[in-house]
Structure 1
Amino acid sequence: MKSKKIIEDPRFKQCNKEAIMGLGLGVVNLIWWFGWGYGLGKKPISEYTYILGFPTWFFMSCIVGGILFSILTVIMINKYFKDMSLEGLTKEEIEKYTKEFD
């Protein structure tokens, strides 16, 4: 039997970068939410300060965090993510993607 050389799809490298960036953004979002929510939320209710009628801890963790991380997601997708075909690749396309994603 002839053994064929297996060529790893060069798109995997880009997919791994995108997955790590998405996971990183999710972890940072969790830290933001937890820090504001439990950091400022531990005070007695009588000591709360309010922004637009919401306790500061809630406003910063849920409202500002939701808006901020939505904007960061859009920026990350537009700047770092690449549009790729999910179809099988020809040898020429493999060479193209190999050069593009390195």
Structure 2
Amino acid sequence: MRKAFRQADREALITLGLYAFFFVWWTVFAFGLGSGDVEEYDYVLGLPAWFFYSCVLGYPVMTLVLWVVVRRFFADIPLDEAEDDEKGERQ
């Protein structure tokens, strides 16, 4: 079961890192492009650029990043303790 805990801890840290990445992404685009006079905003597809890049583009980008990370770094772990106990008794 120890290996499962290590994997779960690793996945939790990766998840927290991805949350931090998305928070930074959103903050940089929302406040970086959104500050200033409203009349000076750039527009993408009729939306203010800060909104487009932080909210509209951010969602598909993060969805793709999450898909890649889950496929590459996350593992399917059996959570059945009975199997681990039997293996532990044999060793």
Q: Tell me the TM-score normalised to structure 1 length.
A: 0.79
Structure possessing the higher relative contact order (Cα contacts under 8 Å, 6 or more residues apart) = 1
Deviation at 1:17, TM superposition (A): 0.6
**Separation (CA, whole Å) in 2 of partners of 1:79 and 1:37:** 30
Q: Does 1:68 align with 2:57?
A: no
Q: Does 1:81 align with 2:69?
A: no
SS at match of 2:2: coil
Q: Which amino acid aligns with 1:59?
A: F
**For structure 1, which runs of at least 5 residues remain unmatched after alignment?**
1-7, 96-102
- C-alpha RMSD over aligned residues: 1.5
- 1:1-102 to structure 2, matched below 5 A, reads 9-88=2-81, 89=84, 90-91=86-87
Greater percentage in helix: 2
Deviation at 1:10, TM superposition (A): 1.6
Deviation at 1:55, TM superposition (A): 0.4
Ranges of 4+ aligned residues in structure 1 off by more than 3 Å: none
Q: Which amino acid aligns with 1:41?
A: G
**Separation (CA, whole Å) in 2 of partners of 1:60 and 1:36:** 6
**For structure 2, which runs of at least 5 residues remain unmatched after alignment?**
none
**Separation (CA, whole Å) in 2 of partners of 1:63 and 1:47:** 20
Deviation at 1:91, TM superposition (A): 1.6
Alignment correspondent of 1:5: none
Deviation string 1:35-84 (CA, Å, 9 cap, x unpaired) is 10011111211100100011000000001111100110111001110001
Aligned residues: 86
Greater CA radius of gyration, 1 or 2? 1
Alignment correspondent of 1:99: none
Q: Which amino acid aligns with 1:61?
A: S
